[in-house]
Amino acid sequence: MNTGDAHSQRSMPTKAFNKELDAYKEARAQGIQPAGTSMKKIQEAVKASEILGKPYDSSKMAPAKHITKKSAEVLNQLGA
């Protein structure tokens, strides 16, 4: 009988880890580069991409949580 994740010393259950990994893979497939692999960072990057109208790249752009419609207009005008 397997005890599963109940006695695991991992920081998160396998199911949650796989969900984050799948979300990260999906974001990367869309050209989005999140600042990390946590669900929060992935969701921030996806939202920033929607606001920008193009894939977000954490290595070249402001932190995703700071991307607003107004900042997106400026970034798009600058060609960033």
pLDDT-based confidence at residue 77 (cuts at 50, 70, 90):
confident
Q: What is the pLDDT of residues 14-67, one digit of tens each?
A: 898 899 999 999 999 999 999 999 999 999 999 999 999 999 999 988 899 998
Q: How would DSSP label each residue in the chain?
A: ---GGGG--SSS-HHHHHHHHHHHHHHHHTT-B-SSSSHHHHHHHHHHHHHHTS--BTTTSS-GGG--HHHHHHHHHHT-
